Each structure stands twice: as structure tokens, then as C-alpha cells.
Amino acid sequence: MISSSTFSATDGAAYEQQMGRWSRRLAEPFLDFAELDDGGQILDLGCGTGSLTLALAGRLSTSRIVGLDASGAYIDHAQRYISDPRIEFHVGDACAMPFPDASFDHVLSMLVLPFVPNTADALAEIRRVARPGAVVAAASWDARGGVVAQRIFADTAAMLDPKANTLRAQNLTRPTTRPGDLAAAWRHAGFLNIRETMLTIRMEYADFDDYWGPLIGGQGPAAAYVATLDASMIAQLREHVRRAYLDGDPDGPRSYAATAWAVKGRVPDVQSPNSIAEGLP
């Protein structure tokens, strides 16, 4: 892991169950919103196991798509399963990207900015590697009000353990996850023609085991928290979360709404470093 990311990311297959399957679903409305021109070179910043990267390749005849992620495990997973010759993957830091200035015609970032402690540093790097006129777009889950599946776990755990209450507070106040956060960050970074919207998908689980499995897979804040508990605490937590999942019905499929905030803007035709504000959360 690169130090500028706070996301626990050690296993690509486990991430696919934890978030990759939902990233693939979110990628489609996100790309509809981004409205990228075909051709050129595109950066997928925080590519994870390659969900958005692959969706880009399926839609566009662009000449080069670069996925960059802080997790070597996720990049290894993506390289094993994605073989499109237009696609390349690199391990790297969102706040110190290994690319020359003005390398990309468009830069996209989906679900990673909440885990970059200094949003302004990441956006300054995005502006550096994006060409004048480039579309820059991002999406972040509405952690407080929009992701039912995550709130089921967070609220249940917080009732049982003060440490989980602290985790919940941290997750619900991460940068770029609240109304207006992304648009404000884009304005401070000096992007033009800014638009913000909401994108909603469904997170669907076959049964409780399908829901619980990612929570013991070690990926992301919730699973990292579970990994700190002893066996008896995990058993207690599992039973209470199971009751919340069942919610009066037999075990089986559940479908939960999940909403993300999305923003897009354009890099000014003439770059102006002074327009990049510092001090964003």
C-alpha cells in the first residue's frame, strides 16, 4: 500500500467480493455522466481491480487506458484478468503520480478520493497530469445517507462497541462523501464547467453469507475493524448483523440502494498553478 491511501487493500479476489462487483455496476452510470470524447489517453486513478478501466475499454476506442492504484495486490489481480493491449496498470500514489505533466486527455477517479487524506494534493496531481481541456470526473459513495448495506453493519456494530462507533463517525465524515463536497473540491482546484449529480445502483446479495463474507475478507475499513476483534466478539457481532439483514424475513436475497455523488469539470485551457487552492480536507 502507498501511504497516501487509508484503505486496507491486500487481496484482489476479496476486494472483488467487497466492492469490485459494485464498482462494475456503478461504472456504467458514471461513464454516462462523464460523457468522454472517444480517442486519446485516459487515466483511471484508484483503479482497484480494474472495474472502471474495463468499462472504459468496452465503450471507447481510445488508444491508451492507464489504471493506477496504491495496492500492488489489486494491480496484480487486474493484470491477471485483463489483457486488452490498450490497458496498462501501475502501482502508484494519487498524490505523487509517476507520469509526466499533461499526459492524459481525461482523468477519472471512482471511489478512491474518500481514502486520500489530502484531497487538495490529489487534485493538484490530477491537474498536473491532465492536458488542458481534459474532462476530470470522480464519484464517491454517499456514506452517510446513501449506502444502506454499509449502514446496516456500521449502525449495528456501533451499538455494541465504542470502537465501532468511532469507526462509523470516521467513515461518515470522509472527504468528498457529503453533499456538495466534490463540487466544492473541484471549484477550489480551479476546474471549469463543473456539474455534480447523484448516481444510484442496487447492491444485491444472495443471502446473509454473501453479505457477511466481505466483512471478514480484510478489505476496507469495516473488514479491517472486524479483524481486530476476538472470536467471541465476532460471533456476537455476526449474530446482531444477521438479525438486521433478515429484518423479519427468512434468509435469502436482499437488494439495497447505494447512491454515490459524482462530479465532472474541465481543466482550463491555460494551466494556472495559483488557481489550485490548498488546505482542502
Label residue 274 by pLDDT band (50, 70, 90): very low
Whether the per-residue pLDDT at 2 is higher than 60: the answer is no
In a domain, 190, yes or no: yes
In a domain, 6, yes or no: no
Tell me the average pLDDT across 200-227.
97
In a domain, 7, yes or no: no
Q: Which domain holds residue 139?
A: 12-270
CA quadruple 12, 14, 19, 20: dihedral, nearest 10: 50
Range with lowest mean pLDDT among 1-5, 15-19, 112-116: 1-5
- Number of domains comprising the chain: 1
In a domain, 201, yes or no: yes
What angle (nearest 5°) sits at the alpha carbon of residue 118, between those of residues 278 and 276? 30
Whether the per-residue pLDDT at 279 is higher than 90: the answer is no
Give the count of alpha carbons within 13 A of 188, CB side only: 18
Q: What are phi and psi of 89, to 5 degrees?
A: -120, 145
C-alpha closest to that of 4 among 129, 166, 121, 89? 121
Rounded CA-CA distance 202/254 in Å is: 10
In a domain, 5, yes or no: no
β-bridge mates for residue 260, sequence order: 141, 199
- 95-128 burial, b at 16+ Cβ within 10 Å, e below that, comes to bebebeeebbbbbbbbbbbbbbebbbbbbbbbbb
pLDDT tens, position by position, 64-116? 999 999 999 999 999 999 999 999 999 999 999 999 999 999 999 999 999 99
At 275 the pLDDT is: 43
pLDDT tens, position by position, 174-197? 999 999 999 999 999 999 999 999
Whether the per-residue pLDDT at 240 is higher than 90: the answer is yes
Distances (CA, A) of 241 to 51, 223, 244, 264: 28, 13, 5, 36
Label residue 3 by pLDDT band (50, 70, 90): very low
253: which 3 cell numbers? 436475497
- 264-279 burial, b at 16+ Cβ within 10 Å, e below that, comes to bbbbbeebeeeebeee
Q: What are phi and psi of 242, to 5 degrees?
A: -60, -40
In a domain, 19, yes or no: yes
Q: Is 38 exposed, middle or buried (0-12, 13-18, 19+ CB in 10 A)?
A: exposed
In a domain, 276, yes or no: no
Q: What is the DSSP letter of 36?
A: P
Distances (CA, A) of 124 to 100, 166, 224: 13, 30, 30
Query: Which pairing describes strands 254-266 and 192-205: parallel, antiparallel, or unpaired?
Result: antiparallel
At 277 the pLDDT is: 40
User: pLDDT averaged over the chain?
Assistant: 94
CATH number of the domain bearing residue 105: 3.40.50.150
If one compares 62 and 195, the residue with the highest pLDDT of the two is: 195
In a domain, 23, yes or no: yes
